[in-house]
Structure 1
Amino acid sequence: MGKIFEFLGLTVGCITHDISDAARKKAYASDITYGTNNEFGFDYLRDNMKFTHEQLSQRPFNFAVIDEVDSILIDEARTPLIISGPTEDNSELYNKINKLIPKLGSEDFEKDEKSRTVTLTEAGTNKVEELLIKAGLLEQDSNLYDLENVHLIHHINQALKAHQLFSKDTDYMIKNNQILIIDDFTGRALEGRRYSEGLHQALEAKENVTVQNENQTLASVTFQNYFRLYPKISGMTGTAMTEAEEFFDIYKLDVVEIPPNKPKCRKDEEDEIYRTAEEKYQAIITQIEESHKQNQPVLVGTVSIEKSELISSMLKKKKIKHHVLNAKYHEEEAFIISQAGVAGAVTIATNMAGRGTDIMLGGNAEMLIAGIDEKLSKAEYDKKVASIKSDVQNNKNIAIAAGGLFVIGTERHESRRIDNQLRGRSGRQGDPGKSKFYLSLEDDLMRIFASERIGSILQKLGLGHGEAIYHPMISKALERAQQKVESRNFEIRKNLLRYDDVASEQRKVIYEQRSEIMASDNLSEMTEDMWKQLNEELVRTNLEDKSCLEEADIESLEREVFRIYGVHESFAEFVGVEVNHDAIITRLDEIVEGVFVSKAEEYSKEVMQIAEKRFLLLTLDQLWKDHLHALDHLRQGINLRAYGQKDPLNEYKREAFGLFEQMLGSIRELAVTRLAHMHLKLSDEDGSKALSDYQPKIEMHESRIDPAEENLQSKITSFQQEAWGKVGRNEKCPCGSEKKYKQCHGRLVSGM
């Protein structure tokens, strides 16, 4: 499409994972930009961690056109995109606890596969405590639910989940000594994505691969809220009608069904249901064998790597040539699928089958032509092309005569749309085709949601070994089971969105503030507003409702002024029979203004402008990160409020708002404190230049250094530690960060 758009005079860009920042920015500046949903979402988060407008990749949002819109806005909407940073190393603890889990029996925990939860029973808790004591992880007289042991409960729960709810080659796979998540809906491995809250580390310990550090959220957004930032969105997919209600409810998008350009000739047969999985797989192999003998191409759809490899092993015993396509062979996807329509071809694929590549009866001539040796002469090349096209056409005629592509589903997926996508691989563009699902009572969907009723029906019918049943009642029961799962998943997504909407509103405020700071060349007015508000708060906190000298805590105010501004000042003269609040605020404003005027005189306005911008952005980023961490903790325990007859969502909104207000106050105080205590040691690299001869640069031992300022000369930033006097290493840092001194400015100073 890019070539057509460029021919029409439009510019086209493409975002891929490994392009440079400059290329990324250029691509976003194009009239039309192509990219994956993950790249767009992560670029949005990364842009809101940058320091200057020149570094931003994305431009203001306009119109999003989403391919496979149901996959992106619905299937992937349950999991937010997260940019995270490492926390302390707990890998040894994960490995120690992992060794304890296999010692638990089925009576030690309760597992609910419908809701994907597993919890310790009372007996299990007692057993775990004994095991922890033996392993030296718990004190002899201690209890697992003592306050100091709360972290152990978290690790035990995650390890239990890893062992009981997550299966290798179904939920994840191992590649290059790493755990890779397998996407439920596409079957693809999700490179670079990790489970949160320590679950990924628990899986790494379970599979004996390197346990990587836990991560703390630095920035997060759901696809729902990311795409709703666009004034206009639209999308296309072949399987949206079953989710029309959700599209309208969440995105205000209507679903319109467009009829195919050619009549559908595919024959969709009734499901075949067996008592056991073994009988089902035998029936599938028999059907593949029959179709293969008739030169009919067959596509076998599975729900996991494990199942695809099981069928592959059974076909090998029958000596039936076939291709396997799953997350392990992702690189070969396009070629394998392109030739899946060749007469007699057998292709086994997980749900990834066909995304972006049509299965053409007879094979895909273009893919075969692309593989021709480029060194051939023009005459030889043309002859080879003609031969390939002729072979493909002959092969297509054979495949059509055999009935077209036969799609075999090895079990029903929890979403009807995924089943429809698999069926839709066959009978494209008016071609003939056939589809059929083989099921058993041991399939996950049947076992969890529909097995009791169907099991009793099969028992009454007295089915023998290897016998199947076709019954509309069973198909209806299955459809109801799928609808049940779809409804549950819809509720999960809606619930996620309700909670994320709270963080989303706060995210918008913070990101707008960041953008305003980055766009401004002079922040002195903003800084002045901040310290004036802070001064009013200081006076109100220490002197409010205290009208006379005896009640007024003047010494407390003086200590706070010294802590924040590094200035010794007495306010006793303003306290007589009555406390003159206004006069104190006016005096305090004069003092602080003097502090910042003297800074500007000492370092120049230019240096102060750079310092103000940098300190404000660093402080905002640091406290926003801590705020996200606090919201994560709040979210985890908020459902317990339901036991107190309170609505968890309303409680979350109320407390999150309180935390946000508290964070804004902390940003104000910490940024002003840092600027007031800032001390710059100017260096002259060649010994000859005066301060006025070069542009200054500020380096901080905080987190990131702005590469856009590399042309500026070097200075070292430090804080006036001497103004705070002697501070104990384990005491709270006087800067107001709430961290220990050794982890904050004590670390900064010692590192210089």
Structure 2
Amino acid sequence: MALRDRFRRLVQKPGTVDLAPYRAVVAEAGTREARLRELTDADLTAAADMLRQSRAASTLRQSRAADTVRQSRAADTDVDLAELCALGREAAHRALGERPFDVQLLGTLGMLSGHIVEMATGEGKTLAGALAAAGHALRGRRVHVLSVNDYLARRDAEWMGPLYELLGVSVGWVGQSSTPEERQKAYAADVTYAPVSEVGFDLLRDRLVTTPDDLVLPEPEVVLIDEADSVLVDEAMVPLVLAGASELDPADPVYADLVRRLRPGQHYATDDEGRNVRLTSSGTRTVERELGGIDLYSPDNTDTLVAVNVALHAQVLLQRDVDYIVRDGAVKLINSSRGRVALLQRWPDGLQAAVEAKEALETSASGEILDSITVQELIGRYPTRCGMTGTALAVAGQLREFYGLEIAVIPPNRPCVRVDEPDRLYATATDKEVAIAEEIAEAHATGRPVLVGTLDVAESERLARRLERAGLSCVVLNAKNDAEEAAIIAEAGAAGAITVSTQMAGRGTDIRLGGTSSTDTARVVELGGLLVIGTGRYHSSRLDDQLRGRAGRQGDPGGSVFFTSLEDDLVAQYAPDAETNATPASDGRLDDRNAHWVVGHAQRVAEGVEVEIHRNTWRYNQLIGLQRREVLAERDQLLRGDHADRLMAERHASHHAELVETAGSEAVAEAARQVALFHLDRCWTEHLAYLADLREGIHLRSLGRGLDPLAEFNREAVPAGKKLLSRAVERAVGTFATLTATPDGIDLTAAGLQRPSATWTYLVHDNPFGSLDERALRGLIAMFRRKPRRP
């Protein structure tokens, strides 16, 4: 095993981290258990504090120039890792009643080394992550443990709290409802649990503060990411946005009503591959007639054309109960990789308003974007990054390319005995659905629990109705009732249970055979454990693996099988021209090897397309990130020092002196800082809007000239960025010249320094159609990969 691991590391294949050194440390930790078991709680805490002190003393001996990630990781080895593991194991046993297995300590060491740890479902990632966070803290490093929602952040912080306390490590948590004071206190702790979105929002708000005392986030040091594959890959390019009140108009319901009456094929045509829709000539004439005989493509009607197109996209391409649901009078987006409501997410304002108009709902607040940051850029701020997940190998290349992270694959404590059956492929979707219902009925007749993973809300409800007609009672878990997720999924292993869910429901919650009461555990085990059924392959094999992983936890028996068809959306979108001459059986089932290959090929194309879009989107955001860093460096100088005051005294010496004489030097310095910060923030907001417009239209111009869209974007964005700081300075100097003073101070309001009356945060859901350049890329990749040679 060790030889194979070394070979993998040598050729840089996924799963390259060699576990042999970690095993040696864990073995050494085991020899120290007896000694630590004799310590009192106070002595145990003191022993952990000695580790912290030894690390601090070691740091003083090191060169202060050691500031790179490589140097910081090398310095971390000064801590006695065996002692750290032994202390953590004893503390967990006393505080939580759980003695970490050796494999959990292997996972802890992997995260302490700055890797992404892959551990199977039910192997205790939460405890391994807490021990790693405590270890980083005892090294003197502040740790942010990022989860995907408020519930998990609070649950894990409170659950692991006694462990941290026994190790002398302070812990806090941040949620959506946390006040600024609560946030500052939580971030001051050694370990802070928080949703990814809240940390990003706090960062964005910090970038608009006008006094240092209002800053909330400390400098980033260590980030430990739960569900790392989801955060670092699926949501990597999701922008977190800080918006401010503006006068933007909501969507006009007239356009929603108009496009609702258009007919497919006659008035508009859709492009399934590019997820695009356009008016036909007949559709254009109809729209122009309905709007009073206008010329839709006249320069004077550009805004109308945009509004019609956005309404058409909302009506045709966004499906209720697939892309979103309507709950409590509002549109709630569905996270495509989890099947849950995407909290705080919305589409870009025009599309969001169009969907709300489509559903005849009140339009939510709009506004201009004051600043934004992608999840990938947020994570990239931390010098040390690590994390844990059940499925990382499938995205090892992306983790290495975008984050410089390697994967440590931790073996299970008990071998997995789950039986994963080959896919069952059918010619039509109807044949597949009939077969799924029959398989569920057959398993249910024996009392075996069944968990069905569907592709979306609509499919989960359609299957539930089919089962009800067959006399089978089931529990449906999807984005409409996700608040009940933990309670529902906890009973999915009970004898006779049928649970129909969207694909990611229950991730982070154990499914115990026999249910929470465990009264029928022996019977369920005898029946083969939980049976997981997938109603189709997802666009990523990683999501398939995550669904399979709901069964067979900690050596439990279990089984899984996926039902697919040649009419599935995956095949229609990514292998539409693939052909097979296979003849289906009487029930529609196909056993032909080439037919099965088509489904696998479609999934591989889908995965390749998503990677290319991620890579392409990151290339655009890299330039924006460089420009943002330059602006933030200037802003920090203005916020913390007298940079603005010296600039104004230099550019307007006489006026500066007059203001000082009247209002005092402190008031003038503060006014100069506020003026400079206002105009810098304003210029950055305008620059972001310019870049958004530039990117959306750049591919059309570059396409006509046969040029690279990214090169064309950079050609215009770089000069614009270089002018930003000088423009902000000139505006600030001009405003400063108009300031008037009284003995009571300087009136900044009269100078027009009016910041937004209200601000709010949200996540921009990845545009389901992509920007124009992304749609072109998606179609191009699909075209080239559509007809490769078959094996």
Q: In which range does the TM-score fall when normalised by the shorter chain?
A: 0.7 to 0.9
Instruction: Tell me if the contact between 2:645 and 2:673 (Cα under 8 Å) persists in the aligned partners.
Output: no
- Report the counterpart of residue 727 of structure 2 in structure 1: 666
**Which residue is 1:468 aligned to?**
589
SS in 2 for 1:453: coil
What is residue 505 of structure 2 aligned with on the other side?
A: 353
User: Does residue 1:447 correspond to 2:606, yes or no?
Assistant: no
Aligned positions of 1:276-291 closer than 5 A: 276-291=428-443
State the partner residue of 1:556.
Answer: none
Pick closer, same or farther for the CA change 1:107–1:79 going to 2, 3 Å: farther
Pair 1:396-2:555 in alignment: no
The Cα shift of 1:521 comes to 5.2
Amino acid of the structure 2 residue aligned with 1:67: D
Determine helix, strand or coil for the equivalent of 1:442: coil
User: Which amino acid in structure 2 is aligned with residue 334 of structure 1?
Assistant: A
Contact 1:522 1:609 in 2 (8 A): no
Counterpart position of 1:581: none
Matched, 1:503 2:624: yes
Any stretches of 5+ residues in structure 2 without a counterpart?
1-159, 759-791
Displacement after TM superposition at 1:447 (Å):
2.2
Is 2:644 the counterpart of 1:519?
no
* Other structure's SS at 2:252 match: helix
Q: Is the 8 A contact 1:84 1:218 kept in 2?
A: yes
Tell me what 2:289 maps to.
Answer: 130
Report the CA distance between 1:123 and its aligned residue. 4.1
Distance 1:122 1:231, change over 3 A: same
Q: Distance in 2 between matches of 1:272 and 1:303?
A: 16
Change (3 A) 1:451 1:268: farther
Sequence identity (%): 35
Identify which of structures 1 and 2 has the higher relative contact order when contacts are C-alpha pairs closer than 8 Å and 6+ apart: 2
1:33 aligns with 2:192: yes
Alpha carbons 1:610, 1:698 under 8 Å: kept: no
Counterpart in 2 of 1:570? none
Deviations 1:218-270 (A, max 9, x none): 11111111111111111211211111111111111122322222111111111
8 A contact 2:340–2:505 mirrored in 1? no
Q: Does 1:431 align with 2:556?
A: yes
In the alignment, residue 671 of structure 2 is paired with which amino acid? A
Paired with 2:342 and 2:738, the residues of 1 have a C-alpha distance of 46
Match of 1:241 in 2: 393
Distance 2:372 2:312 in 1: 27
Q: Residue 736 of structure 2: SS of its match in structure 1?
A: helix
1:37 CA drift (Å) = 1.1
Once residues 313 and 86 of structure 1 are traced to their aligned partners in structure 2, the CA distance between those partners, rounded to angstroms, is 45
Report the more deviating stretch, 280-289 or 16-25. 280-289
Q: 1 CA distance for matches of 2:167 and 2:341?
A: 37
Instruction: Report how far residue 704 of structure 1 moved.
Output: 4.5
TM-score normalized by the length of structure 1: 0.76
Q: 2:413 aligns with which of 256, 261, 265?
A: 261
- The answer to whether the Cα contact below 8 Å between 1:90 and 1:213 also exists between their aligned partners in 2 is no
Name which of 610, 620, 638 aligns with 2:670: 610
What's the counterpart of residue 144 of structure 1?
296
Aligned residues: 597
Contact 2:584 2:590 in 1 (8 A): no
Q: Contact (CA 8 Å) 2:683, 2:728: kept in 1 or not?
A: yes
What amino acid maps onto 1:500 in structure 2?
N
Q: Structure 1 counterpart of 2:695, which letter?
A: R
Aligned to 1:633: 693
Q: Secondary structure at the match of 2:493?
A: coil
CA RMSD of aligned residues (A): 2.2
Q: State which of 636, 657, 678 in structure 1 corresponds to 2:718.
A: 657
Q: Distance in 2 between matches of 1:624 and 1:478?
A: 46
Q: Which residue of 2 aligns with 1:597?
A: 657
Q: 1:67 aligns with which of 216, 223, 226?
A: 226
1:224 matched to which residue of 2?
376
Q: What secondary structure is seen at the aligned counterpart in 2 of 1:635?
A: helix
Cα separation, 2, equivalents of 1:235 and 1:102: 50
Q: Deviation string for 1:455-501 (max 9, x for gaps)?
A: x334xx1543x331234433332222111111111111111111111
Q: What is the rounded CA distance, in whole Å, between the counterparts of 2:649 and 2:560 in structure 1?
A: 71
Residues 5 and 12, structure 1, Cα contact 8 Å, conserved in 2? yes
Amino acid of the structure 2 residue aligned with 1:483? R
What is the CA–CA distance in structure 1 between the aligned matches of 2:175 and 2:691, rounded to whole Å? Answer: 32
Alpha carbons 1:68, 1:237 under 8 Å: kept: yes
Measure the CA separation in 1 of the matches of 2:438 and 2:706: 58
Q: Distance in 1 between matches of 2:619 and 2:464?
A: 44
The one-character-per-residue Cα deviations of 1:131-176 (angstroms, maximum 9, x if unpaired) are 3335xxx3xxxx3233222222221221121122110000001011
1:108-507 → structure 2 map (5 Å cutoff): 108-134=267-293, 138=294, 143-364=295-516, 388=517, 392=518, 394-450=519-575, 452-453=577-578, 456-458=580-582, 461-464=583-586, 466-507=587-628
**Distance in 2 of aligned mates of 1:349 and 1:405:** 14
Question: Which amino acid in the other structure matches residue 298 of structure 2?
Answer: D
Change (3 A) 1:129 1:403: same
Partner-residue secondary structure (3-state), 1:99: helix
Distance 1:634 1:9 in 2: 52
By how many angstroms is 1:647 displaced?
2.0
The answer to whether structure 1 residue 102 and structure 2 residue 227 are counterparts is no
Match of 1:540 in 2: none
**Can you list the C-alpha shifts for 1:50-85, whole angstroms capped at 9, x where unaligned?**
111111111001111111111011111232112223
Aligned-pair CA distance for 1:201: 0.9
Within 5 Å, which residues of 2 pair with 1:558-569?
none
Conserved 8 A contact 1:94-1:155: no
Local SS of the residue matching 1:655: helix
* Corresponding residue of 2:140: none
SS in 1 for 2:261: helix
Distance apart, 1:681 and its partner CA: 5.1
Residue-by-residue CA offset, 1:358-377 (whole Å, 9 max, x unaligned): 1111123xxxxxxxxxxxxx
Q: Deviations over 1:342-384 (max 9, x none)?
A: 11111111023221101111123xxxxxxxxxxxxxxxxxxxx
Equivalent-residue separation in structure 2 for 1:336 and 1:515 (angstroms): 49
Alpha-carbon distance in structure 2 between the residues aligned to 1:670 and 1:523: 13
CA 1:9–1:165: 2 relative to 1, 3 Å = same
Q: Which residues of structure 1 form unaligned runs of 5+?
A: 365-387, 532-591, 683-690, 708-752
Contact between 2:739 and 2:747, CA under 8 Å: does it hold in 1? no
Distance 1:45 1:29, change over 3 A: same
SS at match of 1:600: helix
Q: Residue type of the partner of 2:386? A: S
Q: Is the contact made by 2:208 and 2:681 (CA closer than 8 Å) also made in structure 1?
A: yes
Distance 1:635 1:51, change over 3 A: same
- Assess, with a 3 A threshold, how the Cα gap between structure 1 residues 15 and 342 changes in structure 2: closer, same or farther: same
Alpha-carbon distance in 1 for matches of 2:711, 2:726: 23
SS at match of 1:189: coil
Contact 1:615 1:671 (8 Å CA) reproduced:
yes
The one-character-per-residue Cα deviations of 1:21-45 (angstroms, maximum 9, x if unpaired) are: 0110111111111111111111111
Paired amino acid for 1:362: G
Q: State whether residues 662 and 742 of structure 2, in contact with CA within 8 Å, keep that contact through their aligned partners in structure 1.
A: no
Three-state SS of the structure 2 residue aligned to 1:78 is coil
Residue 15 of structure 1 is matched in structure 2 by 174
CA contact (8 A) 2:420 2:560 kept: yes
**Range 97-106 or range 493-502, more displaced:** 97-106
Q: Distance in 2 between matches of 1:699 and 1:237?
A: 51
In the alignment, the residues of structure 2 paired with residue 237 and residue 492 of structure 1 have an alpha-carbon distance, to the nearest angstrom, of 23
2:24 corresponds to which residue? none
- TM-score scaled by length of structure 2: 0.72
Match of 1:714 in 2: none
The equivalent of 1:730 in structure 2 is none
Which SS does the other structure have where 1:100 is aligned? helix
Q: Which has the larger radius of gyration?
A: 1
